[in-house]
Structure 1
Amino acid sequence: MTTVAGKPGLGSIAARLERLPQSRWHVKVRFLIGAVTFFEAFDQLLSASALPVLIKDWHLSTAQATFAITSGSVGMLLGALVAGWLGDRVGRVRTVALGVAVTALASLAVAFSNNIEMFSLCRFVQGLGIGGVVPVAATYINEIARSDKRGRFVLIYEMIFPLGLAAATLVAVWVVPTFGWRAMFVIGALPVLLAVVLPKKVVESPRWLLSQGRTEEAEQVIARIEAEVAAATGADLPEPVEGRGDDTAKGSLRDLFTGKYLRRTTVLSALWFVAYYVNHGISTWLPSLYVKHFGLDLTTALTYTLLSNVTGLLGTFAVALVIDRIGRRPALVAALGGSALTLVTLALVGVTSGSQVALFASCTTFFVYAINAGLYLYSPELYPTCNRAKGAAFGGLWNRLGVILGPITVGAILGGGGSLTLVFAQLAGVAAVGAVIALFAVETKGKTLEELNS
């Protein structure tokens, strides 16, 4: 094993991670963490697939339907806060495993709900798990990635999230009309198995271990990683290069709002809110809009929704290819601007048919999913190791506020007799504001996590 001369420290751990070539170890870790993220995305969108059936079978009002949607989002908001603290306190891998267990068991409970109150309560609990897993998982992936390829490395992993959303809709197209909505939530309970496997197969982040003063464990973990990578590549590892920043400080939640981190947290919070306000303002109501406003059958409605998820997946892939070249800030500005342009075009031409909405909504999700994936890359980059999960999760709090308020606003417009044109016009306005805010984002491309936070 190649080591760094001198006393072991976070710099040496970081340098040893930075010199690792892409290998089967990276693929294995991304696959296992990605499997968790896939099912978290799958479970997140289950309410939207079930909602058209629940509205009919349980005779739900618009207010009740909105409550059913937002209960899970409130859980995600609280889950993000708790998980951020847990991720920095007990570790990234343990927190992710706990979150996926909560998500899966709550999904099974949702399947046995007999009224909207029990359904919403179980979705709230499920949201606690979903909200906790995603930002902490993204933090872990950031911490094992090389700085020069971190954008593509993380965003290729992040593609699993829109893939999970698309899979939820694809499965719903067949399962909901054939077996009923409850079967979807039974499927959503399957990842409970991952909660058992993950801690055994994925090592803890060595950066996090060292930030906790667990130097010996950090050395053991990085040595194990190096051995796996060397065996997989069949070649000697390059020499680590020191001197690229230091990240040894201890921190607290207050540090997110002082010094240089105040600007970072403010801009990041606003971007998270805008991205998910627009995303869920559209996606949560789409199946119901197709059925209720345009008279489409459920299968067609879910197929149109699937189209939007597929274009979102393409958007995530597109930004993964370019973000290490053009940078985070230009990518976010372009994607938010593209979202605003697409939505305002739909509002101006008039909302006349389900197929028209499907076309423009699919164009919008191409940009919106690129924003979302970019923010999961960007958030952990902005904070030191001791506060990285908290910083990423605090952004998650604001995205959950967007998740809650976006559907509520759309529901209020529709319930108050407002037009679909107004729905899409206000979403366009929010996206345009986000594009302006993104101009003030700190650029992070090509820098190590230690350089960005020393």
Structure 2
Amino acid sequence: MGEARLIILSGLGWMFDALDVLILSYLLVAAAGELALDTQRKTLIILANNLGMLIGAALFGRLADRFGRRKIFMATLLLYSLGTGAAALARSWLEFAVVRFFAGLGLGGELPVVATYVSENSPPERRGRNVVLLESFWSLGAVLAAAISLYLFTSIGWRASLVLLSLTAFYVFVIRLALPESQRWIESRGAQPPGAAAVPQVDLYRLSIVSAIWLMLAFGYYGAFLWLPTMLVKERGFTYVGTYEFMFITTLAQLPGYFSAAYLVEKLGRRPVGSLYFLLSAVSAVLFTYSGAPGELVVWALALNFFNLGVWGVIYAYTPELFPTAVRGVATGMSGSAARVGMILGPMLYPLYSSSALIIIAAVWATASALIWLLPETRGRVV
């Protein structure tokens, strides 16, 4: 299987996942009046979504080790696509929260499975680059989420937009026809029949460090980005349309952030690039907080998107390389579950601390910048 085909076809599924995750921040604004969403109810919806992602990451990572990467990739995509469409039928904030929980199961489950799949099907000298390029499709999903909010929410409404987004379910046919099962996974199963249980032997010390980094990364990302549209409206005086425009423009910085990380992880290594991008993400968050003029806000929001999404790419590339094939899916999934804990805790900051939340997030990212040096470097190694 060609590497370009591997990255593009897997990346489109990744893009749909990002779109469905990030559209939630815009839905909290667009549906606020119709579903009577105050800050507390918005927080509970985010919590339900992220709790689903936490459970999904651990559950489907384990299932991918037992039943194969491709099958679980298809199952998770189908689950969140249908969940997104079902959200269009919600008549109350509680119904919306319940549906987002089930969609979250698929959203959280897909990411570690696809990262593992691409890592296992890439040569060692380009493995890190390929997984970062896979993660770069997240930025395309982010741009699509902003564009859909700007153009579709304001024209056909959020409910009709969600119905259209549910059509991503048909992408399972592309996966089934065009992507083979991971050969590395097949070899790791040996003579065992499909579905037989593998005995996991995970390096718990390494897993704990990786999980802590994932938690810190997600804590800051979701603590900042899920509330950013609300921050702009409530604290900076932006209109709804102005907020969507701001988010659309600044999100464009994510793609070059991924590309720079994809280049540097194979030149400098996973640890130095991850550490640097964590630190610069922290600096960007602080400077955004203390910016006053709209131009300054744009500059530091661009920097925040550039460096923080770049570090996501690095960590996604790094994590599967740290564990053997037989437990790679479950270890990556457990790390992803730690990220979902961060997703739950991070969004609670803004309701409690308002604009000071970004300062706390910056401190957490600076800590992760140091913590990553406790892990071994994997650049160029056969795993």
**TM > 0.5 between the two?**
yes
Question: Structure 1: which 5+ residue stretches go unaligned?
Answer: 1-23, 218-249, 415-419, 450-454
Counterpart Cα distance in 1 of 2:210 and 2:193: 35
Residue type matched to 1:394 in 2?
A: M
Q: Check if 1:380 corresponds to 2:320.
A: yes
Determine the structure 2 residue equivalent to 1:269.
211
* Partners of 1:76 and 1:130 within 8 A in 2: yes
Residues 321-330 or 65-74, more deviating: 65-74
Structure 2: runs of 5+ lacking an equivalent: none
SS in 2 for 1:445: coil
Residue 7 of structure 1 corresponds to: none
8 Å CA contact 1:144–1:205 kept in 2: the answer is: yes
Q: Is the 8 A contact 1:305 1:358 kept in 2?
A: no
Q: Does 1:26 align with 2:3?
A: yes
What is the match of residue 113 of structure 2? 136
- In the alignment, does 2:334 pair up with 1:401? no
Kept after mapping to 1: 8 A contact 2:83/2:103: yes
1:164 paired with 2:130, answer no
Residue number among 176, 181, 186 corresponding to 1:204 in the alignment: 181
Matched, 1:297 2:239: yes
Which residue, 170, 174, 188 being the options, matches 1:193?
A: 170
Q: What is the SS of the residue equivalent to 2:236?
A: coil
Q: Judging changes above 3 Å, is the alpha-carbon distance between structure 1 residues 216 and 51 closer, same or farther for their aligned structure 2 residues?
A: closer
Q: Which structure 2 residues correspond to residues 423-442 of structure 1 after superposition, within 5 A?
A: 423-442=357-376
Which of the numbers 369, 377, 383 marks the counterpart of 1:443?
A: 377
Equivalent residue, structure 2, for 1:251: 199
Q: Which residue of 2 aligns with 1:279?
A: 221
What is the aligned partner in structure 1 of residue 276 from structure 2? 334
What is aligned with 1:229?
none
Distance in structure 2 (CA, Å) of the matches to 1:105 and 1:343:
35
Determine helix, strand or coil for the equivalent of 1:191: helix
Partners of 2:287 and 2:5 in 1: CA distance: 43
Q: Distance in 2 between matches of 1:330 and 1:440?
A: 12
Note if contact 2:135-2:312 (Cα within 8 Å) is conserved in structure 1. no
Residue 150 of structure 2 is matched in structure 1 by: 173
Q: Deviations over 1:133-167 (max 9, x none)?
A: 11100100000101011122221222111211111
| 1:387-436 deviation digits (Å, cap 9, x = unpaired) | 0011111110011111111111122223xxxxx1x122111111111111
> 2:353 matched to which residue of 1?
413
Q: SS of the residue aligned with 1:159?
A: helix
Of residues 59, 69, 78, the one that matches 1:101 is 78
Distance in 2 of aligned mates of 1:292 and 1:57: 19
Q: Which residue of 2 aligns with 1:344?
A: 286
Q: Could you give the per-residue CA deviations for residues 249-308 of structure 1, whole angstroms, max 9, x where no partner exists?
A: x631xx22xxxx233212211111111111111110111111222222212101211233
| Cα separation, 2, equivalents of 1:190 and 1:126 | 14
Q: Which residue number corresponds to residue 40 of structure 2? A: 63
TM-score scaled by structure 1? 0.80
- The answer as to whether partners of 2:15 and 2:140 remain within 8 angstroms in 1 is yes
1:315 aligns with 2:252: no
Q: Is the counterpart of residue 390 in structure 1 residue 330 in structure 2?
A: yes
Work out the CA distance in 1 between the residues paired with 2:31 and 2:272.
42
TM-superposed CA distance for 1:354, in Å, is 5.4
Match of 1:117 in 2: 94
User: Between Structure 1 and Structure 2, whose CA radius of gyration is higher?
Assistant: 1
* Inter-partner Cα distance in structure 1 for 2:314 and 2:181: 24
In structure 2, the CA distance between the partners of 1:26 and 1:326, relative to structure 1 (3 Å rule), is: same
Deviation readout 1:1-29 (Å, 9 max, x if unpaired): xxxxxxxxxxxxxxxxxxxxxxx732223
Q: Which amino acid aligns with 1:288?
A: T
| Cα distance in 2, alignment partners of residues 121 and 297 from structure 1 | 29
Instruction: Report the aligned-residue RMSD.
Output: 1.8
State the identity %.
28
After TM superposition, give the deviation of residue 214 of structure 1 in Å.
Answer: 4.3
Secondary structure of 1:363's match?
helix
TM-score by length of 2: 0.95
In 1, distance between residues paired with 2:34 and 2:192?
Answer: 58
